[in-house]
Structure 1
Amino acid sequence: MGMADSVAGLRLGPWGCIDPQLVGEIKPRHEPMQAMLAFPAILNRKVTLSENACHHRIHGHREKPDCKPELACDLCDLSGNQLLMGGPMTNRLWVVCFLLVSLGASVASQSPSATSVPPGYVDPQPVLAAARKAIGADNLKCVTIAGTGYAGIVGQQRLNDKNVDWPRGEPLANYVRTMNWEARTMKEEFDRKPGLNPASWKYGQGWIDGTPPQQNQHQVFMVNGTHGWHRDGSAASPVAASPEDAERWQLDLWLNPHGFLKAAMLPGANPKAMWRWELGEMGRDGPTTTPEKVVVVSITVLGKYRVDATINPRNMLQRIHTWVPDPVLGDMNYEHEFTDASYIDVGGGVRFPTDWHHHDGWDDNFQAQSINAGHNGFGGAFKDIKPNVCTDLVTVPDSVRQATFPVGVDTQKLAAGVYLLGGASHNSVAVEFKDFIAVIEAPLDERRNLAVIEEVVRLIPNKPIRFLVNTHQHHDHIGGLRTYMHIGATIITQAKNFDFYTRDVLNYSQRTLQPDSVSLWPPTELAEGYQYERVTENYVVSDGTRTMNMYYVQPLQHVDGMLMAYLPAEKMVIEADLLDTHVPLPATPSAANRSFFNQVRALKLDVQQIVPIHGKPVPWTDFMKVMSPKP
């Protein structure tokens, strides 16, 4: 009788000890053996496992120095008799200690009860094992890939319409990524044309206007555990990434075939699997009419993200999917896709994909599920692959480890009853009326806007915030719309933004990863009450004494659906992205500068002060120097 045959009927505890020399002496019985090898809390104590289970003793065993004494044990039959011929084990056995994960897996595979799963589900372990073998996941500790990538700018679309993807940033030339799953570190570096994007933005999510722009061509982004940072230039000082960005970068370490299979073996992964017949994905596989049966395995990553991988009949991972929190869209689709053909043999039994395709948002070009059709956030061809090159250490700088991200509001009184609420990359402006308050702009996220609202209530007590004026639909400018709707404000926005807001943003959908006030305490009305004012050309808010005008700014290359606000008594215009002052004023006017100037001139507005959402207020005369540069 072989060892596998001898132990096939045993149910093993976390640890077990058997004598391989005496396994053949186990007496066969007509009834199946159901003995349990257990780990009692008290040594040398006779333990009854159940009414029908065997008794066994734990003996101190000193013949095998690498076997813990408390792990030596007897095998018993259902009556409590020793199954080993020749007397007590303590005098005769050469004991082998083993972990459940090493032997229990083979035992469980032969036990019908161990593989029982609910209807519709399948046992994930054989599927994961086959995938690990197919791509050599156990042979890869780290990897470096290189090539050329692309970057989608999530949330910066000019408009929302069918087949309108996220705009593309500059190419990521000389892209190199090193992933070390044992150290839980990742380093990405590439060359990109400077001056066109925030330095803190890598690709996909995370674009925040009003922050320092990229100055140097070479860019470096790193993550180690919960800490992330970037360098604008190889020798530049490290700048800590926000906790949200750092966590998403750490998640990316596991959203690739080898990373997923390694994450599935970590404590708390809790793999589950289901099967389905699936047609190919148009962008990945082209048009297909014949489905194939796939298995979808889900695991938990970083203790909170439910990540699933689609594994095809060839044991290849073709899609890895999860959701990430987004202040605008809530639980946002986040996925990588790979084709079988892109996996190449890189040596040592390892196959690794060369073509990467990543989505931020649903691949929904025809707006079947959402108004926003943006989805392509990152990808490229990375054919230079070096397996197990782990020499590049990613050490967390002290400045990054000690970085904090407080939310503060700096208030500046611009005029009687008019306040600038700054202290971040984006400003808001509060305007007091006789019986109510209007606030212009709700940027970034709920945390920022709750702080602003508290300051507004302190400055102007006992009046409701009746209106929230939204300048445009870029995501870094609308992360607080839901917060203002929750406190009862009516959203004033340009009409072209209405469908996107009502379908995708200001809705009752649950937000499980980063709940906000609307999802936790939904108001009675989100659509049927006085929730919106749609502006086509202009709109006026007035109490008979103070007047504020909103105007549609067009034509504008930057974005469609832009509003600016004008206070005629104060001769003040409040605008976003038409003139930014967090950076030096340009030597020559941009397209947005020209559109702004032409709009003010066409409306014959008397402007003395410009209040930007990004930066400090400036006199109109400073802007005229930009528009009329000296020869």
Structure 2
Amino acid sequence: MRNNFGLLLAASIMMATPAGAQDAANFLAQADRAIGASSVNSIRYSGTGWMGAVGQNFVDGEDWPRHVLQSYERVIDYPSQSSREDYVRVQGDYPARGGGQTPIIGERRTLQLASGGYAWTLNGNGEPVAQSPEDAELAQFMIAVSPHGIIKSAMAADDVTLVDRYIPSQDRTLKVVAFTAMGGHRVSIEFNDQHMMERFMTQIPNPVMGDMQMEVRYEEWMDIGNGIKFPFLFHGHRGDHLLTARTGMNWLNLNVSEATANVADAALTVPASVRDAPEPQVNVDPQEVADGVWLMAGGSHNSVAVEFDDFVTVVDAPQNEARSQAVIAEINRLMPGKTIRYLVNTHHHWDHLGGARTYVAQGATVVTHESDENLYRDAVFAPQIRTLSPDTLSRNPFATTGPGPVALETVKDRYSISDGTRTILIFNVQDLAHAGDMLITYLPQEQILINADLWGPPAAGAPAPANISASAIALYRNMHRLNLNVTTHVPIHGQPGPNADFERIVGPAAMQQQAALEGGG
């Protein structure tokens, strides 16, 4: 801690006395004139670059997996608080390593629409599909911190401050404007001596990282007409954390090729089906796949609860606290009086980790790969204040003395949990490009294999997938390497399926790959 604090002091020295509110207002007026923010009612810009899959790196400490932004266009309308973001990603030459749809096969288009506190996308038939309130809030916040929007937001704030920040490594002093946006997000903006914005820093809520740091640099400002300037280079970080190896987590690099201010028809109308959409509910559908083994289905991500004599082990806590609370309620109903003693975390990707803190708050021991220990102790389960989206653990933190704040059991190659009657075996998956810390869970008596992201059995009567993923082949190889006698696959995504189908579908592709490797092809 002492060393980190010293680094912070060395990185920047801020004057102790902030300027008054009038000085801050005067400075913002000059910054406004420098880029013409007050003259901008709407903006359309487009470009190319790359985007990182946040929360989906191969192992902790690596940067987010990158995908090429083959095209990108965004239109913002400030009076209506509307945004239309449309982009196409391809894999390009970036390594096929990590998650977040890596490797992208062909092109993958994303369309995100927002207006006035609502967010939605379009399904394959062009029909609007409402997104979550959390997505809508983030969309509104991203409008508020867009290149011209952030000046507008600062000028409207009632708590704006202005300080000087000396940067020793550059031997220059920046002006820093700080304020609160949208009721809780602290935002600070760095300006050079020409009143030009260079970078802003803020936090956004995240179930894994809490008040997660976000930083965006706006560079290469160019005149686009009528005294309005726009940055032609965006570079953003999400998820940097000074107490971990996460100090350069690159999320976005956009080279703008065209920007036009005050375009017509920028405002969006919220579709009635979106405005009237009910609040999303967490649905848990418990399915007993063997005696005392329950698949907690009902959503895009599952958990698996395994009953022992006097405790319960849960495999995976995906998504967020709401999902975990609903799963725990079902476990308490089905297995009353039994404590959830262990949570097996399949891997560190955020969609499979977002609900883990709920189990930790109840005292569960987290079983995870050894490479995750520092990240989980120093960041994910650390007793840090979460102001933007408090959860059970942040409201009820552990003491830092006594038994300690969190119990972790780490796995290198193999781990077991048993009560003398029932045993589960946990193995690290080797030679997998999706995640270096991936764990699979095997129930030898029931001949059940639980996996995340590796294999989702096709529905009964459905055709076999046209392409067999490298992850499915890796599961096949590891299953045979470990001599696991499997009857049923239980996935974290999808429904259970027989191993006979897995062998029939994946086996030939695995054999073909092996023959090619042995033949040097």
Instruction: Describe the superposition over 1:343-402 as per-residue Cα deviations: whole angstroms up to 9, x where unpaired.
Output: 11111111111111111122x7xxx53233452112211131111113233111122222
Structure 1 gap ranges (5+): 1-116, 195-206, 280-288
Mapped to 1, the partners of 2:358 and 2:466 lie a distance apart of: 38
Does 2:227 match 1:353?
no
Structure-to-structure mapping, 1:75-224, within 5 angstroms: 119-122=17-20, 123-161=23-61, 164-169=62-67, 171-193=68-90, 218-224=109-115
Aligned with 1:400: secondary structure? helix
**8 A contact 2:192–2:198 mirrored in 1:** yes
Selected match of 1:606 from 485, 489, 496: 485
Change (3 A) 1:539 1:118: closer
- 1:378-437: CA deviation from partner (whole Å, max 9, x where unpaired): 221113111111323311112222223101211101111111111111101111111111
Are residues 1:558 and 2:429 paired? no
Counterpart CA distance in 2 for 1:293 and 1:263 is 24
Q: Where in structure 2 are the equivalents of 1:393-412 lying within 5 Å?
A: 393-403=267-277, 404-412=279-287
- Aligned partners of 1:582 and 1:614 also within 8 Å: no
Q: Which residue of 2 aligns with 1:75?
A: none
Q: Which residue of 2 aligns with 1:49?
A: none
2:381, 2:406 within 8 Å by CA — same for their partners in 1? Answer: no
Structure 1 residue 227: Cα displacement: 0.7
Question: Residue 122 of structure 2 corresponds to which residue in structure 1?
Answer: 231
Q: CA deviation at 1:502?
A: 1.1
Q: Which amino acid letter does the alignment assign opposite residue 220 of structure 1?
A: L
| Aligned counterparts of 1:334 and 1:536: Cα–Cα separation in 2 | 32
How many angstroms apart in 2 are the aligned matches of 1:276 and 1:529?
Answer: 36
Unaligned 5+ runs, structure 2: 1-14, 92-98, 513-521
Residue in 2 that maps onto 1:83: none
Does 2:496 align with 1:623? no
Residue 544 (structure 1) aligned with residue 420 (structure 2): yes
Aligned pair partner of 1:385 in 241, 249, 259? 259
Post-superposition offset of 1:564 = 0.8
Deviation by residue 1:214-268 (Cα, 9 ceiling, x = unmatched): 99754421110211112356x62222222112211111112133111111233x5
Amino acid at match of 1:565: T
Match of 2:153 in 1: 263
Corresponding letter in the other structure for 1:271: V
Other structure's SS at 1:128 match: helix
- Conserved in 2, the CA contact under 8 Å of 1:143 and 1:390? no
Asked if structure 1 preserves the Cα contact closer than 8 Å seen for 2:433 and 2:471, the reply is: yes
Q: Partners of 2:458 and 2:146 in 1: how far apart?
A: 38
The structure with the larger Rg is 1
- Secondary structure (helix, strand or coil) at the match of 2:385 reads coil
Deviation of residue 175 (structure 1)? 1.4
Distance 2:411 2:39 in 1: 60
Deviations 1:20-49 (A, max 9, x none): xxxxxxxxxxxxxxxxxxxxxxxxxxxxxx
Q: How does the TM-score come out when normalised to structure 2?
A: 0.87
> Hey, what's the Cα distance between the residues in 2 that align with 1:353 and 1:436?
57
Deviations 1:190-218 (A, max 9, x none): 23349xxxxxxxxxxxx988xxx999754
Name the structure with the higher strand share: 2
Larger RCO, structure (CA 8 Å, separation 6 or more): 2
Take 1:522 and 1:406, find their aligned partners in 2: how far apart are those partners?
27
Aligned length: 480
Match of 2:206 in 1: 326
Distance 1:395 1:529 in 2: 48
Q: CA deviation at 1:269?
A: 4.1
User: Partner of 1:551: helix, strand, or coil?
Assistant: strand
Query: Shift in Å at residue 119 of structure 1?
Result: 2.9
Q: Which residue number in structure 1 is paired with residue 162 of structure 2?
A: 273
Does structure 1 conserve the Cα–Cα contact (< 8 Å) formed by 2:286 and 2:294?
A: yes
Partners in 2 of 1:318 and 1:176 — Cα distance? 22
Q: 1:575 to 1:217 in 2, by over 3 A?
A: closer
Q: Give 1:359's aligned amino acid.
A: H
- Structure 2 match to 1:593: 472
Structure 2 Cα separation of the partners of residues 433 and 226 of structure 1: 46
Q: 1:589 to 1:511 in 2, by over 3 A?
A: same
Q: Is the 8 A contact 1:372 1:504 kept in 2?
A: no
Structure 1 length normalisation: TM-score? 0.72
* Counterpart for residue 344 of structure 2: 469
Larger mean CA deviation between 242-251 and 390-399 belongs to 390-399
> Amino acid of the residue matched to residue 348 of structure 1?
N
| Aligned amino acid, residue 148 of structure 1 | T
After superposition, the C-alpha distances for 1:109-147 in whole angstroms (9 at most, x for unaligned) are xxxxxxxx9933342011101101111122221111111
Residues 289-337 of structure 1: CA deviation (Å, up to 9, x unaligned): 4422222111222222121211111100111221001111111011211
Q: Is residue 567 from structure 1 mapped to residue 439 from structure 2 by the alignment?
A: no
Structure 1 residues 260-288: Cα deviation after superposition (integer angstroms, max 9, x where no partner): 1111233x543122212125xxxxxxxxx
User: Do the aligned partners of 1:566 and 1:572 also contact (CA within 8 Å) in 2?
Assistant: yes
Q: What SS class does the counterpart of residue 193 from structure 2 fall into?
A: coil
Which deviates further from its counterpart, 522-531 or 394-403? 522-531
Q: Any idea what the Cα deviations from partners look like across 1:607-629, whole Å, max 9, x if unmatched?
A: 00000000000000111121245
Q: Specify the alignment match of 1:494 in structure 2.
A: 369
- Is contact 2:201-2:215 (8 Å) kept? yes
Amino acid in structure 2 at the alignment position of 1:393: A
